[in-house]
Chain A
C-alpha cells in the first residue's frame, strides 16, 4: 500500500519541490532531489516487479482516493499492480532515472536546469499514473499529463521559434487523438455503465473479471459483443466503435500514420527528453492502452484489422522516411515511429505479449541510441547534422561502442536457430512481432500476412538507415559545417547569441529541403578553422589532425546511463524472452492481457527472413557509405524526386498544411468575414444599431421646435386616437346602435 503510493507520488513531490522552490534550492539541489526521488521510485518499482513475478505477489488494486461519484459514474485514483503495469513501472522509472542522471551532464550549461528537472519529474509522475490506472479516466488524466509535460519539454528552449512551433504541433496533433480517446471513454460508459478496469470491491461493476476477497467478480466487457449503436438505418457494433475510438487516441500518442507528424518535430526538445518521452515511454502509451483493452480488441475483429493496417503502414512509412534524413535525431525519431508501428501491428494481430515485449526491449535500446546521439551532439558542440560529422569514432570510443550496441539491438542482430536462439534484445522482440503477424496471416486474420511482409521489408530499411547513421557519424573523415552557425540545439544562453536564433531556424529548413546529401563532403578539408564556442565545455578549440572530428568524449555522468542501458539492450531480450512470450508467459502475465495459445511452427524461411534482410541492409549501407565514396550522393541525385519525396517525409506536413491549416483558416475566414461580419454583425448588432440610429434621426427631424407643428401633431394624434378607440372598442356597432 505504502510502497505503491510512494512510487507514484515521489516524482510528483520532486517536480513540485524543484518547480516551486527552484529559486530557493538552486539548480544543484533541485537536480539532486528530483533525481533521488525518481531513483527511489525506480527501486520501489523494481521491488514491486520482482515481488509480482518471483515473490508470489498477486495482482492487486490499491485505491488511493475516490475521485468522482456521480450516479453510476465512478472514478477513483488507484494504483493497479499487475504484470502489465509492473512492466511499465520498471521501464518508466528506470529510464526516467537514467535520463535524470544523464541530464545532469547534458544540461550542465543550461541556466534553467531546475525547471527542466521539475518537468522531467512531472512527466514521470503523469506517466506512472497513466500506467497504474484502474479506470479509463485516470488513464486519460495521465494521458493528458504526459501530453502537457511533453509540450513543456519540447518547448523547453522557448526562445527558439522552431521549438515553440514543434511543441504546439505536438499538442494540437495529440488533441485529435485525445478527442477520439475521450469519445471512446464516453462510448464505454454509454454502453457498459462503467469505465473501471478491475473490481476493487465485491459490488463493483468493472470491465474485466478479477477476484475480490476470494470471490470472482465477472467483468461486463463481454456484454459489448451483442450491443450496437443505431444511426438511422445503420447499426454500428458497439465493440468495434469503442475499439476504433480508443485506437484513435492511441494513434495520436503513439505517433501512428496520419497522426505521426508531431514526433519528428518533437526532436526540437533537449535530447534527454527525446530519449525519455519520445522513445521509451510516452509514445508507447498507445500500445499500453491497446494491451490493457486487449479483451475489447479481441471482440472487435474489424477494429483489430484496422490496428494492424495502421501499424504496418506506419512501420514501413517511417522506415522509408528515415532513409533520407540527415539530422541524427530525426533518423532515430523515424526509427521510433517505425518500431511503434511494429508494436501496434503486433497488437493488431492479437500478439499483445509480443507487442509489450517489443515495447520493453525497445525502451532500452532506443533510449540508448538517443542518449548516445545526445552524447555525440554534446561532443560536437551541438552539431546535429550527420553531413557535418564523420570520423567521430576515434574521439568518442565509448559512445561509439554504446551506439553500436544500440544499433545491433535495434536491427535485431541474432541467430534464429531452433533451441539456440541468441541475439540482442531487438532480435527476440521484433522477430516475435513479425512471426506473430505471419501466424495471424496463416490463421486468416485480416492484414496478418500484409503485416508480415511489411515487417520484413521494414527490417531491411531499419538495418540500412541504422548503419547509414553509424557510418556517416563515426566512420570516414570529418566534414566540417560550412555554415558558421551551429545546429538546432545551439540556442542556449551562453552558447549562442540571440542573433543565432533566426539563423539556426533558417538552417533547419534548409537541411531537409534544398541540400542534396553531400555525404562525401570535402574530404580532408581544413581540419582547423572550425569556430568553436567557448561555451561548449572543455574548450577544445585547437586544430585537430586532418579528418579527425574535433570532438570530445562526454563526462561519465552521461556515459554511465549509456552503459546501464547497453546492458539492457544486450540482455533484456535473452533474459525476458521466456517470461514475455516463452514457456513461462502464462505464469508471467497472469491474465493481465489477452493471449493466444496456438503453438506455431514456423517454416525456416520465416525465421531467417528478418535476419537475412537485416544482413542485406548492413551490406548495402557498407557499400554506399563505407566503401564507395560519393555513391549515395549519386544515387540520391539520380532518384531526385524519390529522394525529395522521402526527405520531405512523403510531404505530409505540406499536405496537412494545405488541407487542415489552410482549410481551417479558409473556413474560419468564411465564417468570420462572411458569416459573422456580414451576416450576423451586419444584420445583428451593427444593422440594428444602424436602424436604431436611423429611427432616432427621423424622430429628431420631427422635433422641429415649431409650435404649430407640435400643436398639429397633438390634435391629429388626439383625433386618430379617438378613431382608433372607437374602432378597436367595437364602437362602430355602438354607433349603429
Chain B
C-alpha cells in the first residue's frame, strides 16, 4: 500500500479517527486526573460521538469507496448507520453519566469504553473483509463485556458481565469457525472475491455462512441465540442496558445486511430460509416470553428480541426494499427504546432507577407527564398508528410480502399482536392500577429530557421526518447496493 493510498484511506475514516483519538487522549487525561476528569470526559465524549455522527453523514461518498486495500468500504448506507449509532450512543452515554453521577460512582473509564465500543461498531459497519469484520465485532464485544460488569461490587452486574463474556466468546468462536469455512471454500477473505465464488453455491460456503450468521445473530440478540439478552439486560446497569438495546443492534444488522447482500448475494435462495427461521423464532420468542415478565428491563430485552425478528423479516426479503425497511425499522425502534430506558431512569425508586412493572402502578395518577410519555413510547413499540413504530412495521411487512414471504408475515402479524399485549399490560398498570403508596419520584434531569426527545421522535416528525428518513434510507441503499 502506498502512502498515497493510505492518505486516501484515512481521509474516509475521519469519524473513526476522531473517536480513536479521543479514546487515546482521554485515557491519558484520566490517568493523570482520575475521577475528577469524569465530568469533562463525559461531555467531550458526547460531543465527539455527536461530531463523529455528523461527520459520517456529511462526508459520505457518492459511490462506495474501498479503502485500506479493500479491508473496509465506505458508502452512504454505512454513513447513515454510523450516524444512527453515534447519536444513540451519545444519548445512552448521557444517561450513563447522569446515572453514575447520582450513584456517586464516577469512573472516568465509562465514557472511554463506551466510545471504544462505538469505534468497534463503526468498523463493523464499514467492514469489507472477514478480518475487519472480526476485528470490529471483537472490539465492540470486549468493550461491551466490561460495560456489562461495570458495577463490580454488584453480584448481578458481575454475573451479567461474566455470562456475556463466556457466551460472547462462544459466539465469536462460531463466527471465526464460519469465517474459516468461507475462506477455505472461496479462497479469500475479501468480500468481492467471496461474492464471485458464491455465484456457484456449495455446501462448505453455505455452512460457513450459517456459522457467521449464528455469530452475528448472537450479537444482535436474535433467537435462538438470544438467551443472554434478558439476563445481561437485567444485570447490567440500566444505562448500559439501554446502550446494548440500541447501538450494537444497528451495527450487527448493518453488518449482516452487508454480508447477505454483497458477498453472499448469489446465495440468496439458500440463506433466505435461514434468515426466515431466525426472524420467525425471534418474533415468537420475543412476543410470547415477554408476556410473563415482571421486570421492565427483561421486558425490554424480549421487546428487542422481537424487534430484531422484524428487522430480520425485512432482511429476508433479499431486495433493496428489504434493506431499506430494515434500516427504517431500526431507526424508528431506537428512539422508542432509549426513551423507555430514559423514563425508567427518570423515575427513581429509593434513588435507583425503577426496575419492575409494579413500580409503575399509579404513575398515571401522580405523574401524568411520564405516564403520557410511556404511553407514546410503548404505543410506538407496539406499532400503533400514527406513531413511527407503525411505519417501521409497515415497511417490514411490505418488504416481506413483496418478496412473497407470506407465512413469515403471518407469523410476524401474530407476534405483533401478542407483543402488543405486554406493551399494553404495562400501560394498564401505569394508568389503571391503584396507586400504591410508593416513593417513586420523578427527576427532571437529562433522562427526562431524553425521554421527551424519544417520545417526540416517535411521532413521525411528523411524517416530514419520516419522508426524510425514507428518502435517506432509500438513497443510502441505492448508492450502496
Contact = CB atoms under 8 A, between A and B. Distances in A.
A699 B171 CA distance: 22
Interface in B197-244: 201-203, 206-207, 209-211, 213-214, 218, 224-225, 227-228, 230-231
A729 B285 contact: no
B54 interface: no
B146 interface: no
Given A692-B291, A717-B225, A729 B231 contact: no
A714 B227 contact: yes
Contacts of B290: 696
A699 B289 CA distance: 6
B273 A692 contact: no
Interface string B241-268: 0000000000000000000000000010
A663 interface: no
A697 B166 CA distance: 26
Given A707-B163, A724-B273, A729-B269, A718 B211 contact: yes
A711 interface: yes
Contacts of A729: 201, 206, 267, 269-271, 273
A700 interface: yes
Contacts of B274: 721, 724-725, 728
Please classify how large the interface on chain A is, using the bins under 10, 10 to 19, 20 to 34, 35 or more: 20 to 34
A735 to B, nearest CB: 5
B421 interface: yes
Contacts of A730: 270
B292 A697 contact: yes
A696 B288 contact: yes
B167 interface: yes
**Chain B residues touching A, majority SS:** helix
Interface string B169-191: 01100100000000000000000
B285 A728 contact: no
Contacts of B174: 714-715, 718
B277 interface: yes
Contacts of B209: 725
B224 A717 contact: yes
**Chain A residues touching B, majority SS:** helix
A710 B291 contact: no
A429 B407 CA distance: 77
Interface in A710-737: 710-711, 713-715, 717-718, 721-722, 724-726, 728-731, 734-735
B334 interface: no
Given A717-B224, A724-B277, A725-B273, A696 B211 contact: no
Given A724-B273, A724-B277, A725-B207, A713 B227 contact: yes
Contacts of A693: 291-292
A689 B287 CA distance: 12
Given A724-B273, A728-B270, A731-B270, A695 B288 contact: yes
B418 interface: yes
A23 to B, nearest CB: 38
A703 interface: yes
A705 interface: yes
Contacts of B270: 725, 728-731
A532 B274 CA distance: 94
Given A722-B211, A724-B277, A725-B273, A692 B421 contact: yes
B126 to A, nearest CB: 26
Interface residues of B, number: 40
A697 B218 CA distance: 23
A31 B211 CA distance: 92
Nearest to B230: A703
A726 B227 contact: no
A725 B206 contact: yes
Contacts of A696: 288-292
A699 B214 CA distance: 20
Contacts of A711: 166-167, 170
Contacts of A731: 203, 206, 270
A692 B288 contact: yes
Interface string B90-113: 000000000000000000000000
A600 to B, nearest CB: 76
B60 to A, nearest CB: 34
* Residue picked from B170, B288, B290, most chain A C-beta under 10 Å: B288
Contacts of A692: 288, 291, 418, 421
Contact of B218 (A695, A699, A714): A714
A703 B289 contact: yes
A707 B166 contact: yes
Contact of A721 (B202, B210, B288): B210
A700 B228 contact: no
A282 B468 CA distance: 66
Interface of A: 689, 692-693, 695-697, 699-700, 703, 705, 707, 709-711, 713-715, 717-718, 721-722, 724-726, 728-731, 734-735
19 contacts: A692-B418, A695-B288, A696-B289, A696-B290, A697-B292, A707-B166, A709-B227, A710-B227, A714-B218, A714-B225, A715-B170, A717-B224, A718-B214, A718-B225, A726-B206, A728-B270, A729-B267, A731-B206, A735-B203
Given A710-B227, A713-B227, 6 more contacts: A692-B288, A695-B288, A696-B292, A714-B218, A725-B273, A731-B270
